[in-house]
């Protein structure tokens, strides 16, 4: 997953810490992919939302 993100390898430690410290949150995480925005002839940004927790305690980023 991180290989698909520009500079994603720098997130490895963060993801590992989240998996260690918040396994219940990680186990409920999902990603909703939104629009693809072309911001330059050779560059595009992909909008996405990460949700975790489920039920009344869902958190979105």
Q: How confident is the model at residue 56 (pLDDT cuts 50, 70, 90)?
A: low
Tokens of 39: 């911001």
Q: Give whole-number Cα distances, 44 to 3, 11, 33, 41, in Å.
A: 17, 20, 14, 8
Report if pTM > 0.75: no
- Longest CA–CA span in the chain (Å) reads 42
Tokens of 50: 């990460």
What's the pLDDT tens digit per position in 1-54?
666 677 777 778 888 898 899 898 888 888 888 899 999 999 888 888 888 876
- Distance, in Å, from the CA atom of 31 to the CA atom of 22, rounded to the nearest integer, reads 17
The per-residue pLDDT for 33 is: 86
Q: Is the pLDDT of residue 61 over 60?
A: no
- Distance, in Å, from the CA atom of 61 to the CA atom of 54, rounded to the nearest integer, reads 13
């Amino acid at each position: 997953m991180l290989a698909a993100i520009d500079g994603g390898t720098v997130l490895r430690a963060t993801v590992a810490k989240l998996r260690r410290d918040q396994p219940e949150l990680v186990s409920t995480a999902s990603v909703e992919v939104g629009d693809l925005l072309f911001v330059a002839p050779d560059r595009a940004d992909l909008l996405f939302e990460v949700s975790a927790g489920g039920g009344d305690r869902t958190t979105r980023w």
